[in-house]
Amino acid sequence: MNWYLQIGKNSDVVMSSKIKLIRNINGFPFKIDRNSEIQKFEDYIKENLYNIGYGLKFIKLRNLDYITKQCIVEKNLVNPDYVFEKEDEGALLINEDENIVIALHAEDNIELQTFGAGLDLENILNLAVEIDEKIEKTFGYAVSKKYGYLTSSLSNLGTGLKASVLINIPAICKTGNKNSILEVISSFGMNVRKVNKENKEDYIYEISNKQTLGLTEQEIIANVKIIIEKIAKEERMIRKYLAEKNILFEDNIYRSYGILSNCKTITKKETEKLLANIKMGTDLGILPEITDSQIKQLYFYTKPAIMQKYYGKEYNTMEQDIKRAEIIKQIMKKEIV
């Protein structure tokens, strides 16, 4: 099972973890623009791919259809700007489990990313470092004794490490505590980004470190983890408060479950809103009718491109809403494993 369908540590609040290491290869400019240089760089990588291992496969973005590229974005494997603005020069090294994704020709030569379900920063950092050492041994990196790994942006100097975590905080958002809590997070040297800015009733945020210079990889991870654990504690406390002897809170959860279970057509936006309520109900033990694994599947398979990929057919917006309702029923009946 791929990492994005697994249940990880602190999964009631933490959806996933990601480590990104930004690197540049000796002998190549940090930003490669000319087609001849791009081809030379890619040939060099492909010739030595076996030395890296992990079953990595080379994929050129321009050879992928739109739905497949959108699936990559919906799985949060790479930045959407990279996929669609650099589709001519962009390329990926990716393994079968999709927990290792190396983007070529992004802001720098290499963006090495590892992923895990829930709060799993230590394990995926260990994996990233293991891969990083093999790449450095094979190709050699641009490194300074004073500044560490050299990058095109000063903000990535030093370790070149970005540790990020996706969190789902509906209780914090619904009670009006969001802004004050997010401001505190930012004051501790963290980046805060709302994942889906178009949907006000989607409560998923990405938290990541700002500082890469002057700290070790382990210190960066520890700092991010402390913040995430504090947010999780606050979210759980507010959820518990909302649930205590509150029939309207429980009613809202069951109404959400009823609509999702019986709808004939439903938009992505409404699905996300209802899932936020249902997940709270499951995590609090209010709604035993559905499991955390099913909720993971619902979040995953109801995304437009992933859903179309599953059915093997492209649909217009209205057809997508109908098929979304169908796949929800399949998941509710445990017909998708």
Give the single-character DSSP code of 107.
S
Same domain, 225 and 267: no
Q: Where are the alpha helices (DSSP H) in the chain?
A: 35-47, 49-52, 66-74, 80-85, 121-139, 170-174, 178-187, 217-243, 247-262, 268-283, 292-301, 304-311, 317-332
Question: What mean pLDDT is reported for the chain?
Answer: 91
Q: Look at residue 8 and tell me if it is in a domain.
A: yes
Measured CA to CA, the distance from residue 88 to residue 64 in angstroms comes to: 11
Domain encompassing residue 325: 247-332
**Which pLDDT score, from 0 to 100, does residue 239 have?**
92
Residue 82 has pLDDT above 80, yes or no: yes
Query: 107 pLDDT exceeds 90?
Result: no
193 and 234 both lie in a single domain:
yes
* % of the chain at pLDDT higher than 90: 69
| 237 and 281 Cβ atoms separated by less than 8 Å | no
Q: Which residues contact 132 (CB under 8 A, 6 or more apart)?
A: 21, 23, 112
**For 55-69, 171-185, 247-261, 281-295, which range has the lowest pLDDT when averaged over its residues?**
171-185
CA 300, 303, 309 angle in degrees (round to 5)? 90
pLDDT mean over 284-301: 94
Q: Does one domain contain both 19 and 121?
A: yes
What does DSSP say about strands 204-209 and 190-194: parallel, antiparallel, or unpaired?
Answer: antiparallel
Per DSSP, 155 falls in state: G
**Least confident range of 72-76, 92-96, 108-112, 178-182:** 178-182
Q: For position 64, what pLDDT does the model report?
A: 94
Percent of the chain with pLDDT over 70: 99
3-33 confidence digits (pLDDT tens): 999 999 999 999 999 999 999 998 888 887 7
pLDDT computed for residue 200 by the predictor: 67
Cβ 118 vs Cβ 10: under 8 Å = yes
pLDDT in tens, 138-173: 999 998 888 888 888 888 888 999 999 999 999 998
Q: Do 37 and 173 have their domain in common?
A: yes
The domain boundary residue, chosen from 238, 258, 280 = 238
Which two structure tokens, joined as six digits, stand for 69?
A: 């590229």
Q: Do 274 and 177 reside in the same domain of the chain?
A: no
Q: How far apart are CA 25 and CA 143, in angstroms?
A: 9
Residues 125 and 219 in one domain: yes
Task: Check whether 199 has a pLDDT greater than 70.
Answer: no
**Structure confidence at residue 201 (pLDDT):** 66
Instruction: Return the pLDDT at 38.
Output: 87
- Distance from C-alpha of 312 to C-alpha of 310, rounded to nearest angstrom: 6
Statement to judge: residues 202 and 124 lie in one domain: yes
Q: Which residue has the higher pLDDT, 195 or 291?
A: 291
pLDDT given for residue 164 in this prediction: 96
Asked if residue 337 has pLDDT above 70, the reply is no
Query: Is the domain of 66 the same as that of 84?
Result: yes
When pLDDT is averaged across residues 235-253 and rounded to a whole number, the result is 90
Domain final residue, candidates 220, 238, 256:
238
For residue 10, being part of any structural domain is answered with yes
Q: Do 84 and 116 have their domain in common?
A: yes
- Evaluate whether residue 107 is within a structural domain: yes
220 & 282 share domain? no
| CATH value at residue 66 | 3.30.590.10
Domain count of the fold of the chain: 2
Whether 62 and 188 share a structural domain: yes
Final residue before a domain boundary, out of 214, 238, 262: 238
Instruction: Classify residue 337: in a domain, yes or no.
Output: no
Q: For residue 235, what pLDDT band results from cuts at 50, 70 and 90?
A: very high
What pTM value is reported for the model?
0.92
Residues 124, 10: one domain? yes
- Which carries the bigger pLDDT value, residue 209 or residue 187? 209
Residue bearing the bigger pLDDT, 120 or 31:
120
Strand partners, 112: 21, 102
